[in-house]
Amino acid sequence: MEDSAPRRSRAAFAGLVGVSQVLGLASVVLTGVWMGHFRGGFAWNGSKQEFNIHPLCMVLGLVFLQGDAILVYRVFHKEPKKNVKLLHGIIHLLALIMSIVGFVAVFDYHRAAKIPDMYSLHSWCGMTTLILFCLQWVMGLMFFLFPVASAWLRASYLPVHVFCGLALLVMSVGTSLLGITETLLFNIMPTYSKFTPEGVLANVLGILLVCFGLVLGHLMTREEYRRPPNPEEEALSVHFKTLTDGGSPTTP
């Protein structure tokens, strides 16, 4: 009976992780269907088909992969933290690569079509998110994966790093919603209010992205889903606390 609550918590956690993956993958698939079926497919030739690469890469990179990179600390809570850090960094790197490809595609299309760059709220939010994402990845690399900072600085920066990760996911989802609305208004504004299939699909995509963000936010902020510290991490925590208090850490 005493173990029933932890079992329910683990079952709820596993269920929510599964839901998050369904929502994330469905978002990527719907973006591919939208751009592939309704917007003419994909190409790298300066045409509108090249623009279509942009939303697919951004949803895949800055939303789905970034969300999964954040989630690995909750899912692989029994694995050595060093391995989880490496996985966290690799998935973030893949997200960064996909995002850069998406940005290059839209700028290349704008240049070929002689469309001005960086005038819309969507573009401002998108560029801000990408720049902060790059900075977050570099800081994570320097502070945690291949640390060059002191233990005291790493301990001080960790809460900021965690907060920025969640904030960037929120920014990515919000920017995606702006992009969805902008694309619909540019392409089907006269018929959007008539519940056309393309408009409905794009609206559903937006709802899926919001739900993905909400489920990830819930998983990352619930105390019972946190990674339990192992003895090595407990020793490091004591080391951090001793340094923070101004004393001399003892050798474990």
For the chain, give the longest Cα–Cα distance: 70
- Please name each of the domains of the chain with its CATH number: 16-229 (1.20.120.1770)
pLDDT of 247 reads: 46
The pLDDT confidence band at residue 223, using thresholds 50, 70 and 90, is confident
Quote the CA–CA distance of 92 and 172 in Å, as a whole number. Answer: 14
pLDDT mean over 5-33: 93
The one-character DSSP state at 229 is: P
Centre a 10 Å sphere on the Cβ of residue 241 and count the other Cβ atoms it contains: 12
Q: What are phi and psi of 234, to 5 degrees?
A: -60, -45
Quote the CA–CA distance of 219 and 223 in Å, as a whole number. Answer: 9
pLDDT mean over 184-202: 97
Stated pTM of the model:
0.88
Quote the CA–CA distance of 47 and 116 in Å, as a whole number. Answer: 15
The pLDDT confidence band at residue 250, using thresholds 50, 70 and 90, is very low
Tell how far CA 121 is from the center of its chain: 20
